Amino acid sequence: MSTGDALCDESDGYEMKRDIRRILIVCTRRIGDVLLATPVVRSLKRAYSEAAIDMLVFEGTQDVVAANPDIHRIWTIAERPAIGPHLELLWSLWRRYDLALSVLAGDRPTVQTWAAGRYCVGTLLDDSKSWWKRRLLDEWVPFDNIHTHTVVMNLRLLASLNIEPHRTPVVSWSREDEKAIHDVYPGMNGAPRYAVLHISPKFAYKTWTTSGWVALGRWLADQGMTVIVTGGVSDQQTSCEQVIHGLSDAVNLVGQATLPALGYLLSRAALYVGTDTAVSHMAAAVGVPTVVLFGPSNPVKWGPWPKDFPETVQSPWRRQGSQRQGNVFLLQGEGDCVPCLGEGCDRHINSLSDCLQRLSIGRVIAAAEAMLLSEHDRTWRVGAEVSQS
């Protein structure tokens, strides 16, 4: 933990930390980032049970924390706001909070944290260009984008507060969300075990093949399981339709469930299979046996955090190789270049990733079968190495 050029003296900082009643967490990025900030929220709530904890997130990402009981209020801002709305937000936040924390190293999150908090803590790149942001923060943590998991990186913001960390992301839903799932899937009560296939990540470079999803769904059906297909609104709509067409007996919930409702659906599943998406993080967090297909993304940074993972390490995951930790089986795609950390082989979000396109159905079925056995006897072999076949 580093201390920035003081905006308040040491005694002021002590008072801020001792008497914290209003807290803001700034996480203006994607849905998965917002979910992975919830361990910070839960840790703070346990330490300051009477404090009101708010979040500032991008419009369209708030759904993932909408039912979170630890959060008092959710502020939203457009991803690329005009100067007017942004200034209005800063004015509304001005010194409203005893403590403000930014889990991001960007310019705007740092400014928003500075505007909101009487005591400000943030994540920054440890470089010469960040000098002015260091002057806005009372404390800052050097940002590591390669070797440290996002959950661990975020929790480092709390080190100087001496707060015991809660590491599992928090997935919450309401009774209305439960009802919504029963409305679209009336057979849920008393139905056979079911598997959830989340087939449409937001970006094309994270997709697996249509034929692979269809073959996996048919194999699961042959095991006597109900197959539920989920997905959000994305550019992969045609692929979703093809998968649904190939799985005529599957329950089609694509576009029919909010993220909190999906959390409830996942909590009762026997198996979840998905790619590198926020929903995969949700599945891991609620404890369902999870198979996640990883391509160009760095698993050390973005691998789903297993439920109640006990280790105080930089990450549950290694950079290369298929591996298993707790209730999560991380199946890495094919190729010596994996993970390349790029957005598809053509280096843009609408390009495909060969490592995922070449991922064989045999490997995915083998992983699914291993996790179904775990679900059956609840014996998870933590840290087992899985060979690539």
Domains of the chain (ranges, CATH numbers)? 2-161 (3.40.50.2000), 175-377 (3.40.50.2000)
**Banded pLDDT at 200 (limits 50, 70, 90):** confident
Residue 180: count other Cβ atoms within 10 Å of its Cβ.
20
Q: What is the mean pLDDT of residues 5-19?
A: 50
Confidence (pLDDT) at 165: 92
Do residues 225 and 270 make contact, with C-beta atoms less than 8 angstroms apart? yes
Confidence (pLDDT) at 17: 58
Confidence (pLDDT) at 16: 53
Confidence (pLDDT) at 91: 97
DSSP states along 93-110: HTT-BSEEEES--SHHHH
Strand blocks (E) in the chain: 2-3, 22-27, 52-58, 73-77, 99-102, 120-124, 139-142, 194-198, 226-230, 251-252, 271-275, 290-294, 323-325, 328-332
Whether pLDDT at 187 is above 70: yes
Do residues 386 and 324 make contact, with C-beta atoms less than 8 angstroms apart? yes
Whether pLDDT at 384 is above 80: no
Mean pLDDT of the chain: 89
Could you tell me which of 60, 356, 59, 29 has the C-alpha nearest to residue 234? 60
**Banded pLDDT at 11 (limits 50, 70, 90):** very low
Percent of the chain with pLDDT strictly greater than 90: 74
Range from 80-84, 167-171, 360-364, 383-387 carrying the lowest mean pLDDT: 383-387
Determine what percent of the chain falls in helix, strand and coil, rounding each to the nearest 5.
40, 15, 45
Do residues 30 and 62 make contact, with C-beta atoms less than 8 angstroms apart? no
Written as six digits, the tokens of 4 are 């920035």
Confidence (pLDDT) at 343: 85
Q: What is the mean pLDDT of residues 268-272?
A: 96
Whether pLDDT at 181 is above 60: yes
User: Using CA atoms, how far apart are residues 35 and 135, in angstroms rounded to an integer?
Assistant: 28
Confidence (pLDDT) at 347: 82
Whether pLDDT at 369 is above 60: yes
Confidence (pLDDT) at 25: 98
Contacts of 338 (CB under 8 A, 6+ apart): 295, 296, 320, 332, 355
User: Using CA atoms, how far apart are residues 178 and 181, in angstroms rounded to an integer?
Assistant: 5
Percent of the chain with pLDDT strictly greater than 70: 90
Written as six digits, the tokens of 153 are 């990186």
User: Using CA atoms, how far apart are residues 276 and 299, in angstroms rounded to an integer?
Assistant: 9
Range from 9-18, 41-50, 159-168, 200-209 carrying the lowest mean pLDDT: 9-18
